Amino acid sequence: MEMVGEAVAEVILTLLACALLACLALIAYLSWSFSPRLTVTGAGLLSLFLAHGAWRTFRDPTKGRSRRGLAAVTAAGFTLTAATGVFLLFYGTGCGCL
């Protein structure tokens, strides 16, 4: 029974990863067909957002200051994006749609 449960969970996670990959590809395609300049600008702004989040996540915190405002938002965005990337790395490779 446990083996069947693990197999079902593996299939569900793989299907979820395939759906996520398909949605990301569809978003990229639709945004590029709408406006290539806006797509490149958005990708640049997203890269700055994630770079700031990575910098705030991995740098040594100063004494007495906690993350607030933009720093907390960018750190959370970076963490969510990194977790999504790891999820896709583990389960998206077995998708068969690549």
- Enumerate the domain spans of the chain: 2-94
Q: What is the pLDDT of residues 3-31, one digit of tens each?
A: 888 888 888 888 888 888 888 889 999 99
Q: What is the pLDDT of residues 80-93, one digit of tens each?
A: 999 998 888 888 77
Give the per-residue pLDDT at 93.
Answer: 76
C-alpha distances (whole Å) from 94 to each of 10, 16, 23, 24, 70 are: 10, 11, 17, 17, 36
Give the per-residue pLDDT at 40.
Answer: 94
C-alpha to C-alpha distance for 51 and 57, rounded to whole angstroms: 10
Give the per-residue pLDDT at 78.
Answer: 93
Q: What is the pLDDT of residues 34-56, one digit of tens each?
A: 999 999 999 999 999 999 999 98
Burial of 29 per CB tally in 10 Å (0-12, 13-18, 19+): exposed
Give the per-residue pLDDT at 97.
Answer: 59
Give the per-residue pLDDT at 92.
Answer: 77
Give the per-residue pLDDT at 96.
Answer: 67
Q: Report the amino acid identity of residue 89.
A: L
